[in-house]
Structure 1
């Protein structure tokens, strides 16, 4: 968590044994966590967050809703009326995200129009302070080393470039899911373990990456700056990167890294594999391991 200066948590619901939303939100409040990302507009979760007071949410749409959101402005208006307007007075919406990790992929062409329709729907509802974005994964990157050479892949660029231009024109951020763990897992021979963990020391004592006049002591910072570099190459020089998932970087020295940890709970209905066990807590509310969130 050391590289991030503003911490929230992803609150997923892919489990058949999870505590009630009220208990989950009470747990978050007890840990002084007031920023949460949710992946779909679950009414019980939104109600619990609103009732708690002082909470902020990154609200995602279901990927399966993107087609209607992109093609039907009336559906986008209904979505905002149902999932944002009723909670607006008691819950701060930090961002609305149109889909999660759909660029690249078969739904990629829907993202920009869905974002535009949601943005218009918010403004029609007199909500002008909630940015609309999407969350992309590192799979959208074609070139990642060194970080300054970061560039979106040929498959992603036709879809992500106009998204970034829309974000830049409106002053909205790009949400990126950044996992040093998966990068290390895919190439343990060439990625130093201590560097992946962010344990390299300045001036020596561990692997470092030097990129021009910039020095990277951990893979997290390098991956975030790769996203910045890629965005800059598609007219996104002014676009902020928010780390919407992860388990100031050198390129944007002095800037805060808003980060959302994945995830609040181990979720047994996620696809078989390690992501079932990325939670900070078990469903019985016992800690998997201690993390300082302050």
Structure 2
């Protein structure tokens, strides 16, 4: 009986780890609108060398799909807009496509998503009425093959699908798209598929630099932030504001449970003379901060802690793309596979935007409460830190060393710093919707000590006891997430 209980306990904890430690996914878009790109086999090797686990392509090119076989890379494939008419008219067209372009390579190639149409509201030919019928036919084909529970169907959109995106709480879909949008959203809910959208803060900055600061667009900790007057939420970066505008638009139509997936975002590494923001440094800064934002499950002000999956555009510069100079220069790599700039795909490193250098740990920095936000925003952030943020706030309780001074800003500062240090002392971990700011001055006073990275290392340096036969070994990475639920396990009779 003791062995059974130990096994059941271990299985339960494993499930908790799977739930709490997945985190958001970060992938890459593999566009091929160029005549000088390496072969798909070489691209697949490059992707593996970079430890990239998720790739989006825009069609079902057989050479590409075959190249990613047995790589463990999850592939998102697409049905181009030009094929929507044929896919929407006849089921046999879709059945044949699936038989020839997907089934021969699955599951050796891990195809997980099919996008039916791409940014249809931006298409020069109006194909919006064809999308949902085409999606239904793709679903029917997958059901025949028994894959409808393994491959997700959706369609991608530009932010132009909104009639209004600012402030985020006023986000609303363009009413002229209602004829296809409502049936599509119903399809997504029914099939547990995400709403896919392409977001580009770069364009908002480039088109209106007097209204959108570069710091705000790049996730910079020096961004002053923007307050949504309807909700009081503080936005320290444009990406979150754009995501929340979609969320509020979905909520207005009563589709608030739909997961949002970002299928394109990024920053160009080069542009024309007037595109001063398009530089390798800015591209590295944006994408580095984006990855860290996703991996840390920072969420958005409207949905803090919400995991979100993101695909960065793009793997290569593409010399055949039309338009201004930046259109051809979104790549992380040149066609010869040399890196234009480097990225830490783990999200654990930190780019110091002021120096451009990589840093790890706090390097003598702390996170404290800002004096430039409302008490409501500060209280909400404190509540989150001591609740969902899983910070031990016992030190700011009455008679404890950090209770005095008994002020909101003092208590919030202590809680913010605890979260900041335990999350690796990244600038994102000190955002708190704009309520947190970093400082190089140690806020410790009297018997109230503020942790920094060195103190955390020292206090965690004692190795844990070796597990006994009746005590299952647990991965250390996510152990702290399990502590609050242990009483529930005991009360449920596992022990």
How high is the TM-score relative to the length of structure 2?
0.56
SS in 2 for 1:182: helix
**What CA distance in whole angstroms lies between the structure 2 residues aligned with 1:79 and 1:252?**
39
- The equivalent of 1:137 in structure 2 is 158
Among 279, 286, 292, the alignment partner of 2:331 is 279
- The equivalent of 2:187 in structure 1 is 166
- The equivalent of 2:225 in structure 1 is 208
**What CA distance in whole angstroms lies between the structure 2 residues aligned with 1:229 and 1:66?**
29
Once the 2 structures are TM-superposed, how far is the Cα of residue 189 of structure 1 from its aligned partner? Answer: 1.9
Asked if the contact 2:223/2:237 (under 8 Å) is kept, the reply is: no
**What CA distance in whole angstroms lies between the structure 2 residues aligned with 1:32 and 1:225?**
29
**What CA distance in whole angstroms lies between the structure 2 residues aligned with 1:154 and 1:172?**
23
Asked if the contact 2:66/2:109 (under 8 Å) is kept, the reply is: no
Among 311, 316, 319, the alignment partner of 1:260 is 311
Once the 2 structures are TM-superposed, how far is the Cα of residue 124 of structure 1 from its aligned partner? Answer: 1.1
**What CA distance in whole angstroms lies between the structure 2 residues aligned with 1:104 and 1:22?**
32
Cα shift readout 1:228-258 (whole Å, capped 9, x = no counterpart):
1112223321111110000122222222110
- The equivalent of 2:103 in structure 1 is 85
Report whether the alignment pairs 1:75 with 2:96: no
**What CA distance in whole angstroms lies between the structure 2 residues aligned with 1:153 and 1:192?**
27
- The equivalent of 1:120 in structure 2 is 140
Structure 1 or 2: larger strand share?
A: 1
**What CA distance in whole angstroms lies between the structure 1 residues aligned with 2:141 and 2:340?**
41
- The equivalent of 1:66 in structure 2 is 84
Q: Which has the higher contact order (CA 8 A, sep 6+)?
A: 1
Report whether the alignment pairs 1:28 with 2:47: yes
Among 215, 219, 240, the alignment partner of 1:198 is 219
SS in 1 for 2:316: coil
- The equivalent of 1:44 in structure 2 is 63
- The equivalent of 1:179 in structure 2 is 200
**What CA distance in whole angstroms lies between the structure 2 residues aligned with 1:168 and 1:156?**
18
**What CA distance in whole angstroms lies between the structure 2 residues aligned with 1:64 and 1:103?**
14
Report whether the alignment pairs 1:109 with 2:161: no
SS in 2 for 1:288: coil
Asked if the contact 1:102/1:136 (under 8 Å) is kept, the reply is: yes
Asked if the contact 1:103/1:159 (under 8 Å) is kept, the reply is: no
How high is the TM-score relative to the length of structure 1?
0.93
Structure 2 residues not aligned, in runs of 5+: 1-22, 267-298, 347-495
**What CA distance in whole angstroms lies between the structure 2 residues aligned with 1:189 and 1:39?**
35
Structure 1 residues not aligned, in runs of 5+: none
The structure 1 segments of at least 4 consecutive aligned residues displaced by more than 4 Å after TM superposition are none
SS in 1 for 2:113: strand
Cα shift readout 1:125-166 (whole Å, capped 9, x = no counterpart):
110221100000011111111111111112333322221121
Cα shift readout 1:28-82 (whole Å, capped 9, x = no counterpart):
100100100000110000000114x211011111110001111111111112222
Return the index of the structure with the highest Cα Rg: 2
SS in 2 for 1:132: strand
- The equivalent of 1:238 in structure 2 is 257
**What CA distance in whole angstroms lies between the structure 1 residues aligned with 2:206 and 2:343?**
22
Asked if the contact 2:55/2:74 (under 8 Å) is kept, the reply is: yes
Over the aligned positions, Cα root-mean-square deviation in angstroms equals 1.5
Asked if the contact 2:31/2:315 (under 8 Å) is kept, the reply is: yes
Equivalent pairs, count: 286
- The equivalent of 1:151 in structure 2 is 172
**Cα distance, 1:255–1:281 mapped onto 2, change above 3 Å:** same
**Cα distance, 1:104–1:264 mapped onto 2, change above 3 Å:** closer
